[in-house]
Amino acid sequence: MFSIPKKDAITFLLFALVVLTMPIWLSPFGASYPGLLQKFAIYALLAVGYNILFGLTGYLSFGHAAFLGVGSYAAVWSFKLLSMNPILALACAMIFSGIFALAIGYVSLRRSGIYFSILTLAFAQMSYKLAYSVLSPITHGENGLQLTLQDPRTIDLMFMERGVSLPTSSLFGIPMNGYEGFYFCAVILLIGFFIAQKIASSPFGMMLKGIKSNEDRMNYTGFNTKPYMLTAFVISGMYAGIAGGLLAVTDPLAGAERMQWTASGELVLMTILGGVGTLVGPVIGAWIIKYFENIFSAWNESILHNFFAFLPDNIEGFVVLISSKFVGEGWHLTLGSMFVLVVVFLPGGIMEGVRRISSWFLRRKDPTKDQEVVDPENMPKPSSEKGE
Amino acid sequence: MVESSHNTVLHVADVHKTFGGLHALADVDLAFEEGTTHAIIGPNGAGKSTLLNVIVGKLPPTRGTVVLDGEVLTGKSPYEINQMGIARVFQTPEIFPELSVFDNVMAPAFAKRDGAFSMNLFKSIESEKDIAREAEEIIVDFGLDAMIHTHAGALSRGHKRRLELAMCLIQKPRILLLDEPTAGMSRHDTNTTIELLKKIKSSGMTKVIIEHDMHVVFSLADEVSVLAQGRIIAEGTPDEVRGDPKVQEAYLGGTYE
């Protein structure tokens, strides 16, 4: 069950290395502080899960933010009612978002294409509005769901006295804010990534790709495609729920704005920017968008003046004037132009760019060797070769 | 009216299909005998493809039933009908263009072994040695081994057709439906396909072929039914049908040389 093909194992190890050393290599970019690192890990997990649905089956859900929100609420309620243990909170988040995804998916998957997208969007917006109105006893409406000193926390209080200040989430004494929180999120991300790899290389994953490629052929080939898609939908909903749970673990409050359609849209952007259907692409997309949102948006004119200080004064003034429109509050402009460029020139996202560049390098290095490098891939796998 | 005899495997019983006011199929009654190759010919718009669509569950008949071995197929979904042993080759190849040739052939093998749905989430495809071997064999048989890891969408039309046939045959269906398997092919490719189909004829599979090319029909079919304007106007061996003046008038446009 834990064996994966060699190529996937290498990808996984590299990915783990990159994720776990993030506090080091992100510091030159000014992004190496726990709050943002946690977000990087959490939104990467969200994108990995979303890709199981959108990337593999091609069904574009516009409502995954709803599962993120449900996960957050479930986690905070688990803190309030049971314990500050993050594992328990994530289990609750997973179960509730899974149930939610099952219900929404069951109805939405009656339709395909644009109608499916609209249905998921409608459900998500409905959840968002309900969180502010009818469901406010559960969601605490606009104030958001927060911890209070009077929370029952039944399991925790069996073992300890009620403290005088608000508790924070902790895993057997390790606090879940700060770098420890990041590493907790990172480990969950790696587990999620591993599972996504397993799914993508399983017969189940092959069927999902078959649905994306030619759903009619799947039917005439003897596959009942509905349960395949529903399973994919529920799994990716659970990923979103766990991501929502992690948001609550690192910062124990939940608000309905997490469920708004813009959050779903952002997720679609992440996936397309990075590369639909690739495992690593959506993660890169998530990191870029979160980096822009948190760092780029904080740039101001004085930073730009420093940056362009080497230019003559009058040119510097002009360059700063132009470029200042693209940073700070204008970061959406940069992101938008980047998105347009990627979609127009690299329909496969950033991963397609990476692939093109690497194949170009391989060819330049040695045109004959390229043939040999590719060939073992192209040959039928000898049956003696074992996946490690 | 055809009596369904004891070795009839598929029986299309009094099937009627209308689209609005158009009678695409009118009281079509056909019995397909086990192990034979049964050709259905007829001019364009005669209802040949509609007939196949009714058999595979794509279209519900307005009236009448389709029976496979005593089990009624009418009302079942395409995937259930496939699971019961009916595979279909389409007029324009229906394959998985984004998947490799290898995966294209493996997927139907999984459907055959694991059924319409199976939660094999954590099994690696590479551990499925039996299915991989089976797929490799059939790919070699069909002369597609040079492109086994190519995306199927990049294949030529003739190769796509061959691939689709391989996808159907790996399931070892009881009944294989072929919708103009040689349409748009060169003479050479047509002959290769005829040879391929002759080879699988010996395996005892029942085949239903819709075909325009009389050369193909007369080299393969044991039994021919002629469909014109939704009705069966003649049935019999290729020679009987060839000699039938009604057929010559409706379809062959005079005499067939």
Pick from B59, B121, B169 the residue to mutate for testing the A interface (most A CBs within 10 Å).
B121
Task: Please provide the DSSP assignment of A247-258 as one string.
Answer: HHHHS-EE-GGG
Are A314 and A352 in contact by the 8 Å Cβ rule? The answer is no
Are A241 and A97 in contact by the 8 Å Cβ rule? The answer is yes
DSSP state, B250?
I
Q: Identify the band that residue A183 occupies on the pLDDT scale cut at 50, 70 and 90.
A: very high
**Separation of alpha carbons A340 and A345, rounded Å:** 8
Helix runs in chain B, H state only: 48-55, 78-83, 101-114, 129-141, 157-169, 187-201, 214-220, 238-243, 245-247
**Separation of alpha carbons A68 and A76, rounded Å:** 13
Q: Identify the band that residue B252 occupies on the pLDDT scale cut at 50, 70 and 90.
A: low
CA atoms within 13 A on the CB side of B7: 7
Q: Hey, is the C-beta of A216 within 8 angstroms of any chain B C-beta?
A: yes
**Separation of alpha carbons A333 and B168, rounded Å:** 51
Are B17 and B54 in contact by the 8 Å Cβ rule? The answer is yes
The CATH number of the domain covering residues in A6-294: 1.10.3470
Match 């699971």 to its residue by tokens: B83
Give pLDDT tens digits for A129-148.
998 888 888 888 888 888 88
Helix (H) or strand (E) holding B29: strand B22-33
List, in order, residues 6 or more apart from A21 with CB less than 8 Å away.
Answer: none
Residues of A in contact with B132 (CB under 8 A): 380-381, 383
List, in order, residues 6 or more apart from B125 with CB less than 8 Å away.
Answer: A201, A202, A203, A206, B106, B132
Give pLDDT tens digits for B16-33.
999 888 888 988 999 999
Which amino acid is present at B164? E
Sign of the Cα torsion A315, A321, A322, A324 reads positive
Cβ pair A216:B98 closer than 8 A:
no
Using alpha carbons, select from B116, B42, B37, B32 the residue that is nearest to residue B79: B116
List, in order, residues 6 or more apart from A103 with CB less than 8 Å away.
Answer: none
* pLDDT value, residue A370: 42
First to last CA, chain B: 30
Match 């990716």 to its residue by tokens: A236
Residues 22-41 of A with CB under 8 A from B: none
Q: Which residue of chain B has the CA closest to A198?
A: B122
Residues of B in contact with A385 (CB under 8 A): 126
The two structure tokens encoding residue A14 = 């590299």
Tell how strand B8-19 and strand B206-210 pair up. unpaired
Identify the bridge partners of residue B175 per DSSP, sorted by sequence position: B86, B206
pLDDT over threshold 90, residue A199: yes
Residues 55-94 of B with CB under 8 A from A: 56, 77-79, 82-83, 87-88, 94
**Separation of alpha carbons B158 and A336, rounded Å:** 44
**CA distances (Å), B57 to each of A192, A224, B229, in order?**
39, 13, 21
* pLDDT value, residue A2: 58
Q: Is B65 exposed, middle or buried (0-12, 13-18, 19+ CB in 10 A)?
A: middle
Say whether domain B1-85+176-257 belongs to CATH 3.40.50.300: yes
**Separation of alpha carbons A10 and A13, rounded Å:** 5
Q: Give the closest-approach CA distance of A69 to chain B in angstroms.
A: 26
**Range with the poorest average pLDDT among A34-48, A297-311, B44-58, B198-212:** A297-311
pLDDT over threshold 60, residue A218: yes
Q: Hey, is the C-beta of A206 within 8 angstroms of any chain B C-beta?
A: yes
* pLDDT value, residue B224: 92
Residues of A in contact with B136 (CB under 8 A): 380
Rg, Å, chain A Cα set: 23
Residues of B in contact with A381 (CB under 8 A): 126, 132
Share of chain A above pLDDT 70, in %: 93
Q: Identify the band that residue B132 occupies on the pLDDT scale cut at 50, 70 and 90.
A: very high
Residues of A in contact with B99 (CB under 8 A): 206, 209-210, 213
How confident is the model over B215-226, as a mean pLDDT? 88
Give pLDDT tens digits for A60-100.
999 999 999 999 999 999 999 988 889 999 999 999 999 99
pLDDT over threshold 60, residue A11: yes
Q: Across all residues in chain A, what is the average pLDDT?
A: 86
Q: Identify the band that residue B251 occupies on the pLDDT scale cut at 50, 70 and 90.
A: low
* pLDDT value, residue B253: 58
**Separation of alpha carbons B177 and B39, rounded Å:** 10
* pLDDT value, residue A365: 66
Long-range contacts of A262-267 (CB under 8 A, 24+ apart): A262/A65, A263/A65, A263/A68, A264/A61, A264/A62, A264/A63, A264/A64, A264/A65, A264/A66, A264/A120, A264/A121, A264/A124, A265/A62, A267/A46, A267/A47, A267/A50, A267/A64, A267/A65
DSSP state, B186?
-
* pLDDT value, residue A333: 87
**Separation of alpha carbons A343 and A329, rounded Å:** 23
The domains of chain B are located at: 1-85+176-257, 93-172
pLDDT over threshold 80, residue A3: no
Q: Give the closest-approach CA distance of B235 to chain A in angstroms.
A: 29
DSSP state, B249?
I
Give pLDDT tens digits for A323-375.
887 887 788 888 888 889 988 888 888 998 888 998 888 877 655 444 433 33
Count of beta carbons in the 10 Å neighbourhood of residue B102? 22
Q: Is A346 exposed, middle or buried (0-12, 13-18, 19+ CB in 10 A)?
A: middle
For A144, the 3-state DSSP assignment is: coil
* pLDDT value, residue A383: 40
Cβ pair A4:B124 closer than 8 A:
yes
How confident is the model over B144-156, as a mean pLDDT? 92
Q: Which residue of chain B has the CA closest to A231?
A: B119
Cβ pair A202:B120 closer than 8 A:
yes
Helix runs in A214-280, H state only: 215-220, 225-250, 261-274
Share of chain A above pLDDT 90, in %: 47
The domains of chain A are located at: 6-294
Give pLDDT tens digits for A26-57.
888 888 888 899 999 999 999 999 999 999 99
E strand segments, A99-240: 145-146, 170-171, 174-175
Q: Which residue of chain A has the CA closest to B170?
A: A221
Q: Higher model confidence: residue B197 or residue B86?
A: B86
- Out of A42-46, A324-328, B121-125, B246-250, give the one with best mean pLDDT: A42-46
Q: Give the closest-approach CA distance of A55 to chain B in angstroms.
A: 13
**Separation of alpha carbons A282 and A272, rounded Å:** 7
Residues of B in contact with A212 (CB under 8 A): 98
**Separation of alpha carbons A20 and A27, rounded Å:** 13
Residues 111-170 of B with CB under 8 A from A: 111-112, 114-129, 132-133, 136, 145, 148-149, 167
Identify the bridge partners of residue B65 per DSSP, sorted by sequence position: B13
